[in-house]
Chain A
Amino acid sequence: AQTVTQSQPEMSVQEAETVTLSCTYDTSENNYYLFWYKQPPSRQMILVIRQEAYKQQNATENRFSVNFQKAAKSFSLKISDSQLGDTAMYFCAFMKHNTGNQFYFGTGTSLTVIP
């Protein structure tokens, strides 16, 4: 079974500062995907960033980047130059590398950006 753990239930950051959200996972799979999803107060799930496990290079998407440590099964999200609109719940998620497979989500980290 796959499990995803987010050990930080709540975090806050000053506007324009950098924050890192932690995520660890457990799997026996070798090929898989990892994701960070953002859930603002509107409750919609929005994809922030994706990482394929076979890629050593860390994914980046504008102000968002990840630190993927496959051996340690760690997948942290760094948000640079935090903006007020980044305030949301952030979920780390795992998906096996088969077609039509399910996401396994962590319990989420509630991030508040302070003006």
Chain B
Amino acid sequence: EPEVTQTPSHQVTQMGQEVILRCVPISNHLYFYWYRQILGQKVEFLVSFYNNEISEKSEIFDDQFSVERPDGSNFTLKIRSTKLEDSAMYFCASSGPLVWEAFFGQGTRLTVV
């Protein structure tokens, strides 16, 4: 069964450092998403990406965040200068022609120290 793959599973970084979270969506999917879940809280939308550009973003997704699909297979989330409050589980998701059928990756746990 196809799946969304995220790497790394856990990343620890120092405050102020840049991090890149990586995702390999399902190969024939067209829509890509990043969500985050702060421990004990609900899953929050960050950004959606379609046709090589951002289609929607939330107020959380400020100038410190960026997304890229550099090579047609990977989908990355970059945080330029991490803050303590960026510590969370980050989920990548993708969906295909059936846009409602979104598949989530296993998540990357980001810890900012």
Contacts and interface: CB of A to CB of B under 8 A. Distances in A.
Contact of A100 (B56, B105, B109): B56
A7 to B, nearest CB: 13
A62 interface: no
Given A99-B31, A102-B45, A105-B42, A43 B99 contact: no
Interface in A46-68: 46-47, 50, 52
A103 B42 contact: no
Contacts of A101: 48, 56, 99
A45 B91 CA distance: 9
Interface residues of B, number: 28
Contacts of B50: 99-100
B20 interface: no
B48 A43 contact: no
A45 B33 contact: no
A99 B49 CA distance: 11
**Consensus secondary structure, chain B interface:** strand
Interface residues of A, number: 23
Contacts of A95: 100
Given A91-B43, A95-B100, A103 B107 contact: no
Interface in B77-113: 89, 91, 93, 95, 99-107, 109
Given A45-B104, A101-B48, A106 B42 contact: yes
23 contacts: A37-B104, A43-B107, A43-B109, A44-B104, A44-B105, A44-B106, A45-B91, A47-B103, A50-B100, A91-B43, A99-B50, A99-B99, A100-B31, A100-B55, A100-B95, A101-B56, A101-B99, A102-B33, A103-B43, A103-B102, A105-B44, A107-B42, A108-B42
Interface of A: 33, 35, 37, 42-47, 50, 52, 91, 95, 99-108
